[in-house]
Amino acid sequence: MKLNTAGYDFRVFLRDELKTRMENNRSYSLRAFAKSLEISPSNLSMILNGRTPVSLKFIDNIGGKLSLEKEKIYEYQFALLKEKNGDQNLNNFEYIESSRFKIIKDWYHYAILNLMRVKGFVQSANWISKRLQISVNEAQMAIENLQKAKFLKVVSGQWVDTSNLYTSHTNNKRANKYAKENQIQLFTKAFEAINDVSFEDRNHTGVTIAFNTSDLEEAKEFITKFRKQFINKFDKKTSADEVYHLSLALFPLSNKKRGEKK
């Protein structure tokens, strides 16, 4: 039975790792395991027993110390987010490895997948180029890239979205140069929309606050949950008539290091 404290999957992994080490070395102990992870034995004991929750940062830190592949770390972080969100109706959410995302890093790849659910969609690079205002060549290359990345396949002449409607492509815990390129493209589109899209058809808003950086990880988790809830409420599977993009940015306007006296 799962414990009530969030982080069940990663906690089980830690228990199994400790068990394996103890089986291979009878003198090995929880204290030795804690020392290798650079945390206190009491803290490790509370985590393993479900009395202390784990965080995204903890999974990233401990996973690195245990030499986990980054994709496996992402999986444990994703499992934690699902537990914390507590909403079984949220759309699927996947972190895609860099090598795969590299193929579809340009903004219009995901736009095409969503355009397939818009009323009146036409399986044509020419039609797509007009709706997304890209060249026919870009549209054709994007179609081929989506198939190469296994996000799209053609069955009996019909296009089929094989991405399982996943709505995220990168992990916000690690830098990714391809995600960075994608974000620059999308925020550029957001900037252009201020002038090119009528006020009635868009929403550009923001807020400036006094912020404590110790809350940053919690803030990121809050934004992730909001984004998933937004998708669950407004992403249409059959009745859509346009493709929209929601961009969120949380960043410092001040820099305490610049303000330090030399």
Whole-structure pTM over 0.85, yes or no?
no
pLDDT band at 73 (very low <50, low <70, confident <90, very high): confident
pLDDT of residue 259 exceeding 70, the answer is no
- How many other C-beta atoms are found inside a 10 Å radius of the C-beta of residue 151? 21
* Cα gap 6→216, rounded to integer Å: 19
Mean per-residue pLDDT of the chain? 86
Nearest to 17 by CA among 6, 7, 28: 28
CATH of domain 8-85: 1.10.260
What percent of the chain is predicted at pLDDT more than 70? 85
pLDDT of residue 4: 47
Is the pLDDT higher at 34 or at 74?
A: 34
Among residues 159, 155, 163, which one has the least CA distance to residue 116? 159
Looking at residue 44, its pLDDT comes to 93
Q: Is the pLDDT of residue 251 over 50?
A: yes
**At residue 59, what are phi and psi to the nearest 5 degrees?**
-60, -40
- The CATH 1.10.260 portion of the chain extends over 8-85
